[in-house]
Amino acid sequence: MGRGVSKNRWVILAMAMLLFMAASDTGFGENVYDWNFKPAKNNQPPTTEPHYIELLDRYDGYFIGDTDTKNIYLTFDSGYENGCTDVILDVLKEKGVPAAFFVTGYYFEREVDLIKRMDDEGHIVGNHSWNHPSFPDLNDEEVISELAKVEKAFKTLTGKKMNYLRPPRGTFNERTMKIAKEEGYQHIFWSFAYVDWDPDAQKGKTYAYDRIMDRVHPGAVLLLHSVSKDNAAALGDVIDELKAEGYQFQSLDHLTGRRFPLLDQ
């Protein structure tokens, strides 16, 4: 077999794998989607798949805000603790910036003081499931249980309800989005992310700063992971520079229209 034919086979296999990742299948005979967006150059807003937009519209989800205004929505996925969340909260408090933290059951079992601090300091605490499974792999009752266990723990701690969900692993389908809406949740996806979630593969403050500043855009929903020391180190400089460029940091409640808090910028 010639080298050209072999190369073509690998291209076909790679394309097939990409299609599988974008819409694989569960034991329920359903498509499974992995959230993705298509970055643009020169700090322009990204796009995503048309059928993702249709699902977001149908089930009141968001991945980006108004792209004509310089608002930023800062969100953190918090699956477990790595000693960085207090540092991040210190920076947010110093800069007067709101954020959303999507937490798992780990925090209610081991880091309840951090949950209390997030809430006490005015940040949104969102549902990231109790055990971080892929929701499309679960049946309806299991999805509801994953949401309800986090919700119950948060309500017991704070007396408050949760409104926002970030699906664990970024996987979803119409069934799981429908369940979440019926349980009172809005999906919050993202229009910016980078490879920051591996504590053993951190590349330094400057790397994190450059990745964020290269892709930030009006209406951005930034996804950062709170386990990243790089994010914790770069966050203050990112906030200062974006404010200098005219951006305002807003709450997810501003994005969704639940309420419009006045922020000291």
pLDDT tens-digit series, residues 132-176 = 999 999 999 999 999 999 999 999 999 999 999 999 999 999 999
Structural domain includes residue 261: no
- The interaxial angle of helices 140-158 and 112-120, nearest 10 deg, is 70
pLDDT reported for residue 30: 83
* Interstrand relation of 220-225 and 248-250 (parallel, antiparallel or unpaired): unpaired
Burial class (CB in 10 A: 0-12, 13-18, 19+), 132: middle
The per-residue pLDDT for range 248-263, each reduced to its tens digit, is 999 999 999 985 444 4
Q: Could you confirm whether 214 is annotated as catalytic?
A: no
pLDDT reported for residue 144: 98
CATH code, domain carrying 96 = 3.20.20.370
Helix, strand and coil content of the chain, in percent to the nearest 5, comes to 45, 15, 35
The residue range of the domain holding 157 is 35-256
pLDDT surpassing 90 at residue 201: yes
Compute the mean pLDDT over every residue in the chain, rounded to the nearest whole number. Answer: 90
pLDDT surpassing 70 at residue 67: yes
Structural domain includes residue 104: yes
The tally of domains found in the chain comes to 1
At residue 181, what is the residue type? K
Structural domain includes residue 96: yes
* CA distance linking residue 230 with residue 203, whole number of Å: 7
Structural domain includes residue 4: no
How far does Cα 174 stand from its chain's mean position? Answer: 18
pLDDT reported for residue 203: 98
- Contact partners, residue 181, CB within 8 Å, separation at least 6: 59, 60
Provide, rounded to the nearest whole percent, the portion of the chain with pLDDT above 70.
86
Tokens of 234: 């770069």
Structural domain includes residue 135: yes
Pick the closest to residue 71 from 236, 241, 257, 221 (CA basis).
221
Catalytic residue among 77, 128, 187, 217: 77
Provide, rounded to the nearest whole percent, the portion of the chain with pLDDT above 90.
85
Burial class (CB in 10 A: 0-12, 13-18, 19+), 257: exposed
pLDDT reported for residue 8: 36
pLDDT reported for residue 258: 81
Q: Could you confirm whether 77 is annotated as catalytic?
A: yes
Structural domain includes residue 21: no
Structural domain includes residue 165: yes
Catalytic residue among 187, 225, 230, 254: 225
Structural domain includes residue 82: yes
